[in-house]
Amino acid sequence: MTPLFLLPIAITAVPAPPTAQVVIAAGHVDLGPRFVDGKWTIQVRDDTGDPVVWRPLENVVVQATDQAELSVPADPAYEFLGKAGAKVWVIPQVQKAGVVWPGWNTQDPEVAQRVDREVTWSLDGVDGPGTFTLFLNSDFGKPAPVFDSRKPFPQETGIDVNTHVHGNWTFSAPGTYLLDITMTAKLTDGTTVTDHRPLRLHAGSGNPRDAFKATAQQPVVDPAPSGSDGGGRGLDIVVVGSAVLVAVGLGFAVLRVVRRKRSAA
């Protein structure tokens, strides 16, 4: 009898509708502005399924699972992450299997066409159980801070039109973090557009869906493990990067600014 061989069938995940509340703990997502029904709106582009889905921020929690847990290296350049050896949850600038990979972009076709030069991204506050930082790995092996919840607000960074960037998102303690963010731009017709809303992230295990119930006044906090140095609730910002972190498993890499082909997705 001739043996029968079954060929594997590729199965593509069908994404939940934009109206559904989703926790994204793996795969690629981007934060960015769009014109929704003619209104400038910050949304999350979810690339984890096919087709791509743009989601309202209120329907998304980005989770750094325990696979993102690392120890702070004994390198003075990374003292801003905490004491050497302390636990820290890191979503790296370079994609890591099993860890979500959030970036930010200004590549929506209408945004790229109508915005004059750049979008200003502002961090206006952070609620959470520990310190939040977002930093880039520089070409010279030093961390380049973007945001740091221990520093005064608001903190700002510029995003050139039609660009796509990834950085290192870090959390010093497990639990839910609410980032109060604003994106503003001057359009080519001279008008200014702005949108302001919270971005929800969750570090560690616990129940990330509890983040949907969190408000800036009532952040959801998972108790820090006994003996951990979780730090206090932070309100500030910074930016950085280096090969030393690669050696200790953080997987950070040189800043990448990617210009992707514009699509209507």
For the chain, the distance separating the N- and C-terminal CA atoms, rounded to the nearest angstrom, is 49
How far apart are the C-alpha atoms of 252 and 91, rounded to whole Å?
9
Considering only 26-35, 75-84, 143-152, 244-253, which range has the smallest mean pLDDT?
244-253
Note the Cα 120 to chain centre separation in Å. Answer: 16
pLDDT at position 140 is 65
How far apart are the C-alpha atoms of 14 and 16, rounded to whole Å?
7
CB neighbourhood size of 231 (10 A) = 21
Q: Give residue-wise pLDDT tens across range 18-50.
A: 889 999 999 999 999 999 999 999 999 999 999
CB neighbourhood size of 94 (10 A) = 15
Residue 137 Cα distances to 75, 102, 241, 246, angstroms: 15, 15, 3, 11
Task: Using pLDDT thresholds of 50, 70 and 90, give the confidence band for residue 13.
Answer: low
Mean pLDDT of the chain: 81
176 close to 211: Cβ distance less than 8 angstroms: yes
Residue 8 DSSP code: P
Which residue type occupies 110? E
Q: Give residue-wise pLDDT tens across range 159-191.
A: 999 999 999 999 999 999 999 999 999 999 999
Structural element, H or E, at residue 135:
strand 132-137
How far apart are the C-alpha atoms of 153 and 150, rounded to whole Å?
9
How far apart are the C-alpha atoms of 249 and 73, rounded to whole Å?
9
Considering only 110-124, 130-144, 169-183, 196-210, which range has the smallest mean pLDDT?
130-144
Task: For residue 195, give both structure tokens.
Answer: 């949108």
Q: Quick one: which of 88, 99, 90 has its CA closest to 28?
A: 99
pLDDT at position 8 is 44
Per DSSP (E only), the strands in 138-210 are 143-148, 155-160, 164-166, 168-171, 175-187, 192-203
Question: With 90 as the cut, is the pLDDT of residue 7 above it?
Answer: no
CB neighbourhood size of 25 (10 A) = 18
Question: With 60 as the cut, is the pLDDT of residue 217 above it?
Answer: no
What average pLDDT does range 88-92 have in this prediction?
Answer: 96
How far apart are the C-alpha atoms of 231 and 62, rounded to whole Å?
21
The more confidently predicted of residues 114 and 263 is: 114
Residue 135 Cα distances to 3, 139, 217, 237, angstroms: 56, 13, 26, 9
pTM: 0.79
170 close to 90: Cβ distance less than 8 angstroms: yes
* SS3 state of residue 91: strand
What average pLDDT does range 228-234 have in this prediction?
Answer: 36
